[in-house]
Amino acid sequence: MYRLTAVEVHEGYCLRLTFDDGFVGMVDLSDLSGKGVFATWLDRRVFESVRIGSSGELVWSDQVDLCPDALYLRATGRKPEDVFPALCRDPSHA
């Protein structure tokens, strides 16, 4: 599991993220803005209030959080099976 160590807000709904493995990348979250719980981001001050939670996730007040693993995949452009090799293993049966 990955953890975020730093977050910087950029123009639009872009964030510069630093992960505990040293990877630094940008994610554009504009596709989420205004939809469901992400409607709160329409107020720019709410989006800019992002912080890192106790589990290394992104948090906006107590209403919205985003998983660091999902953000890592988005930032790197990698597939889940590339980052988590256990997903590729054939299931074993008892």
pLDDT in tens, 28-73: 999 999 999 999 999 999 999 999 999 999 999 888 999 999 999 9
Domain span including residue 11? 4-88
Within-domain flag for 47: yes
The pTM assigned to this predicted structure is 0.86
Residue 76 lies in a domain: yes
Structure tokens at 55: 């589990």
- Structural domains of the chain, count: 1
Asked whether residue 93 is domain-assigned, the answer is no
Per the model's pLDDT, the better-predicted residue between 1 and 51 turns out to be 51
58-60 sheet: strands from edge to edge: 51-52, 58-60, 64-66
pLDDT beyond 60 at 94 = no
Q: Is residue 16 part of a domain?
A: yes
Whether 94 is in a domain gets the answer no
Q: Please answer whether residues 31 and 37 qualify as being in contact, where contact means their C-beta atoms are separated by less than 8 angstroms.
A: no
Q: Above 80 in pLDDT, residue 85?
A: no
Q: Alpha-carbon distance 36 to 73, whole Å? A: 22
Q: Residue 7: beta bridge partners?
A: 17
The CATH number covering residue 66 comes to 3.30.2020.10
Q: Are 71 and 58 within 8 A, CB to CB?
A: yes
In one-letter notation, the amino acid at residue 45 is: R
Q: Does any domain span residue 62?
A: yes
